[in-house]
Amino acid sequence: MKAFEYATALSTDSARELVADNGAYLAGGNDLLGLLKEYLVPAPSILVNIKSVPNLDKIVRSENKWVIGALVTVGEIERDAEVAKVFPGLHDAAMEIASPQIRNVATVGGNLAQHSRCWYFRHRDTVCLKKGGDLCYARNSENRYHSLFTGNDCISPVVSSLATTFAALDATAIVLRDGKEILMSMAELYQKAWKEIPAHNSLNPGDLILRVRIPTLRSRSAYMQVSDKHAFDWALVSCAAAANVVDGKLSQPRVALGSISSVPHQVEAANQFLEGKPLDDATASQAADMILAGATPLEHNGYKVPMAHALIRRTLLKLKG
């Protein structure tokens, strides 16, 4: 890493001021330090530790919504018994993220804001399209981990499993931008990555994710992923589903896929199709077809289509409880 200054902020205002034009917020640090160690981003002149900013590290429960502070760690979510009861999908997503050591420091905000994991982006010596180069190497070379759906010439998918799960739960991120709190759905949080090559998400420099608000509207949720290994391995495909199930029929269903698009992939038509349908294999299979319609596999990632199809069916059926 290049040298940097360091300060601990005690408020969001001073954090913003300290970060100024080319500083970086330091929360868990896993993504940031990884980027700095490989010199992948313009070196920040200062790292601002935001872990002492008050009121960002609690889970606040109320009757029709939970609010999770952006500094709550993934480990805390995993260990929270009530989360496991009220949002089992969130629990299951959290427990599979990375490793215990990472979960103990990784924050909700950091997990959502993390940069691309494309191995060309992450490589110190390939200046790919996303880093301002001329070429998306992955498109014509090693693309086994890359997207089935793309909105621009960068084919690197969003890999945040919390984003996928929050998408299914219809959660909203509250982002502090220039002193004002703005709301973003998961779709909005990643929309810029869909549109613009260099973007990993819709955050501007200096933006700070404050909290995530999750309606308790859907009493059932589920999450599943498949990786090459059984643990501590990025998902090849992940799926989250949430709904109410009334008399065996789906109500307010939402299904999202991760690691196959630069945004958590949801198909509104599929959600609408599922509404009121019986929760069974045939329904799930049809929904999967609709969610995957229009997928454009690359040379080496076509396996993600049948894999995603299976995951969608299984995740939906898991809602049965």
* DSSP β-ladder status, 46-49 and 23-26: parallel
Q: How far is the CB of 316 from another protein (least distance, A)?
A: 14
Q: Does 285 bind another protein (CB under 8 A)?
A: no
102 forms part of the interface with another protein (CB under 8 A): yes
Touching another protein, residues 181-240 (CB under 8 A): 226, 228-234, 236
Under the criterion CB under 8 A, does residue 144 sit at the interface with another protein? yes
Between 38 and 196, CB nearer to another protein: 38
Give the nearest distance from C-beta 255 to another protein in angstroms. Answer: 17
Task: Report in angstroms how near the CB of residue 137 gets to another protein at its nearest.
Answer: 5
Q: What span, in angstroms and rounded, lies between the C-alpha atoms of 250 and 149? A: 27
305 lies in the site for another protein, by CB under 8 A: yes
The two tokens of residue 177 are 């931008």
Measure the CA–CA gap between 263 and 160, rounded to whole angstroms: 10
For 147-162, letters b (16+ CB in 10 Å) and e give: bbbbbbebbbbbbbbb
Angle ∠(243,216,105) on CA atoms, nearest 5: 105
Give min distance, CB of 252 to another protein, in A.
27
User: Distance between CA 29 and CA 27 in Å, rounded?
Assistant: 5
Residue 180 touches another protein, criterion: CB under 8 A:
no
The angle formed by the CA atoms of residues 275, 182 and 110, to the nearest 5 degrees, is 85
Q: Which is nearer to another protein, 189 or 226 (CB)?
A: 226
For position 104 contacting another protein by CB under 8 A, the verdict is: yes
The answer to whether 6 and 49 have CB atoms below 8 angstroms apart is yes
Residue 315 CB, shortest distance to another protein, in Å, is 12
Supply φ then ψ for residue 229, to 5 degrees.
Answer: -100, 175
Number of residues that bind another protein (CB under 8 A): 73
- Among the listed ranges 122-130, 170-178, 179-187, 266-274, the one in contact with another protein (CB under 8 A) is 122-130
CB of 187 to another protein, least distance (A): 25
Asked if 247 and 224 count as a contact pair (C-beta separation under 8 A), the reply is no
Instruction: Please tell me whether residue 5 binds another protein under the rule CB under 8 A.
Output: yes
